Amino acid sequence: MTMIPTVKLLIDGEFVESTTSEWRDVIDPATQTVLARVPMCSAEEVGRAVAAARAAFPAWRNTAISERARVFLRLQALIREHMEDLASTLTREQGKTLADARGDVFRGLEVVEHAAAVGTLQMGEFAENVAGGVDTYAIRQPLGVCAGITPFNFPAMIPLWMFPMACVLGNTFVLKPSEQDPLTPMKLAELAQRAGLPPGVLNVVHGGPEAVNAICDHPDIKAISFVGSVHVGTHVWQRGTQNGKRVQAMLGAKNHAVFLPDAQREQSLNALVGAAFGAAGQRCMALTVAVLVGQAREWVPEIVARAKTLRVNAGHEAEADIGPLITPHAKQRVQQLIERGVAEGARLELDGRNYQVPGYERGNFVGPTIFSGVKPEMNIYREEIFGPVLCLVEVDTLDQAIAFINANPYGNGTAIFTQSGAAARKFQNEVDVGQVGINVPIPVPVPFFSFTGSRGSRLGDLGPYGKEVVRFYTHTKTVTARWFDDAVTSGQVNTTISLR
């Protein structure tokens, strides 16, 4: 009888077994094979992780910036060395193709590299002689214990958005990855320990609502970073901020791509199909709505033809373009939304329901699906589908396209495809969305710029990386100083200085 491995906790530098009585299975989405069992941690176990992080904080915050940075130089080298193992593990537990899995790891790796260059990012400000003999300077200091709650769709990238930047700035960290695919985050935690993070600087717990609430409620946690659904993110935001914590919550999306008739046709159509169906649509930056302006509405048959060429298979199969969805429930939900779209009058140009992959009959597969004639009141437009479903909308002008996007409750990412600089400039100026691509389909910024988002896609005013995250994970202390030298001031009358 094969023993199913258990996912450990990382507390105070040790990988330990949970004592909880509640466990869940980690399942391969392509085969339904149980890969491991993950614990649903209690508030007591979360408290142990927080206590370890709190105990480690004084020494870690006083560690030289250059020494902290060198830990992350070593971590990025270890991630590169173990790239294929990380990607393989990620594919098995999450389902995305190996190419997507490598991209998942690589985009996180870029943030680790950014963390290794933290020195200039942590610099403060200085002003000399703000009054007679008085200098004022501001310094950035770490907050203390911070926490991260991450989603299933990017089990490498998003944890690497969080703990490297928090820790390199002098904080300690408690990570709660998704219980659906915790194996990849645990491998990253192992590499972080090998890179030289001292015990207690990074801790990992697992679980569901009890663990999340324990993080929101614990008085020693100063800040929480969250990426995930609107429902859970709103709960974390409200409960965390009510308990006096800083919270940044990146939430849902309904991303639009605008196609003007002058766009470079071949490049634009290829970009749309890749951005709509890559990662099986399970990413918050997926382009799920194409807004076809004017004569671009004639492109519908070509969009459908390109989507039909995509190969659906288990993620580790070499020819796979689209892997399975994360769970049977996710598959059922997507198929129900497709049925709703048909019932509400959208034209089903390509139907991906009941997709069968030979050899993987139990997999959670949905093929590429395309609707045209989509209206704003339809559920397939209003809801974040999180599956390989593309909605096509037709308008007459760029102004109508911009108004259509701005009327949507979400503002995560968008793109325009055009060869007109004037149209692109108008679009980037008037659209109310955080990330804008110009002939770039998924405009996730590189780490030295900030990941933003607007309206219903974000709670909090600071993003998860770039310059904004330095502000999020530090507080500013302003010092006003005056020094006296008896030899210089001897015989002089000291006067009281007022800065008002």
Question: Any idea which residues carry the catalytic annotation?
Answer: 284
Phi, psi of 361 (to 5 degrees): -65, -20
- Would you say 269 and 306 are in contact if contact means Cβ atoms under 8 Å apart? yes
389 bridge partner residues: 369
Q: Determine whether 10 is exposed, middle or buried from the number of CB atoms within 10 Å of its CB (0-12, 13-18, 19+).
A: buried
Which residues 6+ apart lie within 8 Å of 414 measured at CB? 255, 256, 257, 258, 405, 431, 433, 435, 436, 437, 443
Please give the Cα distance from 44 to 98 (Å, whole number): 37
The 3-state secondary structure of 18-48 reads CCCCCEEEEECCCCCCEEEEEECCCHHHHHH
Cα(191)–Cα(185) distance, integer angstroms:
10
CA dihedral 271, 444, 162, 216 (to 10 degrees): -90
Token duo for residue 225: 């970073």
CB 171 within 8 A of CB 145: yes
Backbone angles phi and psi of 351, in degrees to 5:
-110, 120
Round to whole Å and give the CA distance between 106 and 87: 10
323 secondary structure, DSSP code: -
| β-strands 134-142, 125-131 pairing | antiparallel
Rounded Cα–Cα distance for residues 185 and 404 (Å): 38
Consecutive H or E run containing 425:
helix 421-430
Check if the beta carbon of residue 273 is closer than 8 Å to that of residue 310.
yes
The full length of the chain comes to: 500
Which is it for strands 287-293 and 255-259: parallel, antiparallel or unpaired?
parallel
Token pair for residue 18? 């949970």
- Taking a C-beta distance cutoff of 8 angstroms, is the pair 405, 370 a contact? no
Nearest to 462 by CA among 242, 285, 226: 226
**Helix H or strand E segment including 149:** strand 145-149
Q: Give the tokens for residue 223.
A: 């800040």
